[in-house]
Amino acid sequence: MGTTIKERFQAVTSFREPGLAPKASGKDVPRTPATEGARVSARSGDGFDRAAPAPLKAPALEGSPGAPPRPAEAAEDSDPMKHIAYLASDELKGRDSPSAGLSAASAYVEQFAKKYGLVGPNVQNAASPYQQPFQVFSFADGARQVAPGHAEHKDFGHTLFEEGFYLDENMPADTRALLGGKYDEAMKRAGKAREPGAAQPLSVAELRQAAQADGFAQNTMALLPGTGPHKDEVIVVMAHLDHVGVGRGGAVHNGADDNASGSAVLLAAIPELAEAQKQGKLDRSVLFLWTGAEEMGLVGSQYFVDHPIPGLGLENISGVINMDMVGRWDDQRLSVIDTHSRGQANYFRELTRKANQNLADPFDRLNQDINVYRDRQDGAVFSRKGEDVLFLFEGLSNPQGGGELMPDYHQPGDDIDKILRDNGGNKPRRVKELMVDIIQQASTRGARQ
């Protein structure tokens, strides 16, 4: 891959414009030179019924099998910017679902989790218990209105199965009914609406006839077992690992903010939480979950809920924290969703407030301004099942709340240098500190009500 992870990390964190140093306010922060080069499409062929692409080789991490024997520096492993530097690199070509780049990102996550002793919990996948593979489909012919790739949209996130879905015989009836509604919408747009009174919900076989198989994606997961009396309860901490790949013009959409930032925060939290576990300071277990195919419509998160892994079903889950886009703007604003669908605060509100107060430099603003996104992020899959969910997001253009998304959303310009320009990398680092505190509080709080 040319340069190593360490070299890329040092390059993006050590570059400084002459006479400038990063400030907590996000002003006068360092920049990196633009990195524009040859960009190659991640898609090959027509995308029909192809198997999972051969994965790129993830770089060896210090302390892991195949890596140099020199001991790792925990400070680097605990810095989200190190992981963003790899996940948002051109080599991964935008981490589409499915793609070799997403598979490489998944391998990188797995290797890092093993390095810190986290367990691969998926006993149903003998090949790799750190992965949960699933086949991705999209509607074909008259029921599909966009060319292979991602439809352009400016609204944040996706509704369930907006651009793609999974199909199998074990799909629960309620999920199949939701997918049938998406099918009817697509057919209506194509002028091929079904006759009134047609059977509902559609069978898996009927849905399969209108679908094209795009290949295999995967959820990636790692379990940090608890050590206390509530160790059978699990706090799920999640972020989507995928992005939108390569545009029709061949430009790579690296997705540094969306969502290498959230994925990297999860990775950077592992060393500290693993140490807390060794010291007996984690009562409940913590499941780190990096979903695939979120950009197709929350597909990976829905697949995880619909295909429970022993010991990690809904009955075991005692709260969910989802992070999506936590890198941009200044490092003093953050937006949260910490309420149920009826607007009532869940238990994460008080935990977040306390964690923010515990920071050496608390966030000035924890804005409650993104409830419109409640159903357009992976946490919605869990909240629909009655779980307490906390969603952390970088915020909108107005520091006091509200406004627009960052201008590089789903654009080729979503690169790591923009995070450095906005806040010098301080925001992902501080989000990690906040999240680690919230997880520790959630893990040790009283018995689940």
Q: What is the DSSP string of 255-267?
A: -IIIIIIHHHHHH
Reported as type and span, the H/E element at residue 299 is: helix 299-306
The three state secondary structure string of 57-125 is CCCCCCCCCCCCCCCCCHHHHCCHHHHHHHHCCHHHCCCCCCCHHHHHHHHHHHHHHHHCCCECCCCCC
C-alpha dihedral over 14, 18, 19, 22, to 10 degrees? -30
Res 444: pLDDT:
95
Res 88: pLDDT:
98
- Tokens for 140, please give them: 């074909």
Rounded distance, CA 257 to CA 87, Å?
10
Reported as type and span, the H/E element at residue 136 is: strand 131-139
What burial class does residue 207 get, using C-beta atoms within 10 Å of its C-beta: 0-12 exposed, 13-18 middle, 19+ buried? buried
Rounded distance, CA 112 to CA 108, Å?
6
How many other C-beta atoms can be found within 10 angstroms of the C-beta atom of residue 401?
A: 15
How many other C-beta atoms can be found within 10 angstroms of the C-beta atom of residue 156?
A: 18
Q: Looking at domain 5-29+42-135+215-444, which CATH architecture does it have?
A: 3-Layer(aba) Sandwich (3.40)
Rounded distance, CA 380 to CA 338, Å?
12
Res 188: pLDDT:
80
Say which amino acid occupies 141.
D
The DSSP call for residue 252 is B
Rounded distance, CA 256 to CA 414, Å?
6
Q: Which of 286, 232, 189, 220 is nearest to 58 (CA)?
A: 220
Report H helices in 136-190: 173-189
β-pair partners for 322? 238, 391
Q: Which of 184, 229, 275 is nearest to 445 (CA)?
A: 229
- Tokens for 363, please give them: 């966030």
The three-class DSSP label of residue 15 is: coil
- pLDDT tens, the chain, 449 aa long: 445 555 655 655 554 332 333 333 333 333 332 222 222 223 333 333 334 455 577 777 765 554 444 445 678 999 999 999 999 999 999 999 999 999 999 999 999 999 999 999 999 999 999 999 999 999 865 544 444 457 676 789 899 999 999 999 999 999 999 999 888 887 887 777 777 767 677 899 989 988 999 999 999 999 999 999 999 999 999 999 999 999 988 999 999 999 999 999 999 999 999 999 999 999 999 999 999 999 999 999 999 999 999 999 999 999 999 999 999 999 999 999 999 878 899 999 999 999 999 999 999 999 999 999 999 999 999 999 999 999 999 999 999 999 999 999 999 999 999 999 999 999 999 999 999 999 999 999 985 54
Task: Please say whether the beta carbons of 214 and 295 come within 8 A.
Answer: no
Q: Which of 300, 235, 256, 242 is nearest to 435 (CA)?
A: 235
Task: Please say whether the beta carbons of 270 and 290 come within 8 A.
Answer: no
In terms of DSSP bridges, do strands 333-337 and 365-367 run parallel, antiparallel, or are they unpaired?
parallel
How many other C-beta atoms can be found within 10 angstroms of the C-beta atom of residue 52?
A: 17
- Cα dist from 265 to 288, 306, 358, 385, 442, whole Å: 11, 26, 18, 26, 17
Say which amino acid occupies 63.
G
Res 137: pLDDT:
95
The three-class DSSP label of residue 380 is: helix
